[in-house]
Amino acid sequence: MIQKSINGILGIFTALLIGAVMMLAQGFDPLATYQSLFDFSLFRSSSLATTLKNAVPLVLTGLSASMAFASGVINLGQPGQLLIGALFVTLGGLYIDLPPILMIPFLVLMAMFGGALWAGLAALMRRAFNMSEFIVTLMLNMIADFFTLWAITNPLKDESAFSAMTPPITRSGWLHEIGAFNPSILIMLAAVAGMWFVFNRWNAGYEWRITGQNSLFARLGGCKVDRNFVSIMLVTGALAGLAGGMVVMAGPHRFLRGLGANYAWDGVMIAIVANSGLIATLLYGLFFSIFQTGALGMELITNVPSEIIVVLQAVTVLVIVASREYLNITLDRLAAKRRARERF
């Protein structure tokens, strides 16, 4: 645990250092830049609430990827599942109107259903035709991307809008801020807690984890590996879909072009840095959100383009993962040397 935290902090620090060198090379002042970055994401009034709200899709897609990777399922379809989840919420919000107390749970279910449906399609192809889920989910991402784009430019288009977007969903489906904080944060925390509970307290979660660590052992031990595969795909798809739903319900309240942004791929990166740990996913998700939320403020104050954040994120991931694995190898090597010395 301590080793993990040290690793994470060192990695983040190194990435910030590399970022600083990059900024210096282009004549920007790194200290002022970082100051405005953290200022705008943490210390201004209501900026903490924004950071938390922006963390919701990151953490949920990260959670989806973490669960999948920890269970040995290569579900890289989060971007597509997120979009389809968002599309389902939009559909529900456009054509059905219930009082908020019913509408919000209904839309949440719609989002999860949409994501699970898209992931289920990949699971079906794997189970029925033995097609590798790795490539299938990637291709389905592109297809979902074009499909949703078609949906919002043709049948669902808001005629009064200039660019491709749907009309806003019914008001009772909006997640309004309570104080400064958006209720989607609570839904995110509930999802993390629920998944933690499933993973660590339920038989199903135990089977999934064991399958991820050693699928042969799991099968010999009596786990239904194939059936588990489908349920993992459905659950992780539902999580990614939920992320899309939250983006619509808490944010623009409609499906507009580029809605998915880079949330899902960032989520995959978060899962990778977190080594598929659920709590670590939450923490790194928050951290990525700090970067992304602060980026806009940073651009306003210092002229450093906000895109540099994407570079910083990738560097952070590489440094943390590389140092973690290299550290493990070094520790193993030292242990092996010690053992060799004891023997002779």
Partner 1 sequence: MTILSGLLRGMISGATPILLAALGGSFTFYAGVFNIAMEGMMLTGAFFAVLGSYYSGSWLVGVLLAVLGSLLLALIFILFAVVLKTDEFVTGIALNLFAVGATTYLLRQIFQVKGVFTHPGIHPIPEIHIPLVEDIPFLGQFLSGQNLIVYVAVLATLISFYIIFRTPFGLRLRAAGYNPACLVSSGVPTNHIRAYSLLICGVLCGLAGAFLSLGYVNLFSENMSAGRGWISLAAIILVNGNPLGLALISLLFGLSDGLGLLLQSYQVPAQFTSMVPYLATLVALFFYARRGRRKKRFEVI
Q: Which residues bind partner 1 (CB under 8 A)?
A: 26, 125, 129-132, 135-136, 138-143, 146-147, 149-150, 153-154, 262, 265-266, 268-269, 272, 305, 307-311, 313-315, 317-318, 321-322, 325-326, 329
CB of 158 to partner 1, least distance (A): 17
Total residues found in the chain within this entry: 344
Nearer Cβ to partner 1 (142/190): 142
Nearer Cβ to partner 1 (90/170): 90
Nearer Cβ to partner 1 (129/162): 129
Q: State the DSSP H helix or E strand holding residue 98, giving kind and residue range, or none if neither.
A: none
CB of 97 to partner 1, least distance (A): 29
CB of 326 to partner 1, least distance (A): 5
Cα dihedral sign, 60-66-67-73:
positive
Nearer Cβ to partner 1 (121/249): 121
The torsion angles phi and psi of 165, rounded to 5 degrees, stand at -160, 160
Nearer Cβ to partner 1 (18/32): 18
> Which of helix, strand or coil describes residue 214?
coil
Distance between CA atoms of residues 294 and 147, nearest Å: 32
> Which of helix, strand or coil describes residue 256?
strand
**Long-range contacts, stretch 309-314, CB < 8 angstroms, 24+ apart:** 310/262, 311/19, 311/22, 312/15, 312/16, 312/18, 312/19, 313/266, 313/269, 313/288, 314/269
- Closest-CA residue to 238 (of 106, 84, 124, 98): 84
CB of 100 to partner 1, least distance (A): 33
CB of 167 to partner 1, least distance (A): 19
> Which of helix, strand or coil describes residue 76?
coil
CB of 105 to partner 1, least distance (A): 32
DSSP for 139-200, please give it: HHHHHHHHHHHHHHHTTT--TT-SSSBPPPPPGGG----BTTB-THHHHHHHHHHHHHHHHH
Distance between CA atoms of residues 84 and 114, nearest Å: 5
Nearer Cβ to partner 1 (43/150): 150
CB of 48 to partner 1, least distance (A): 25
Nearer Cβ to partner 1 (269/278): 269
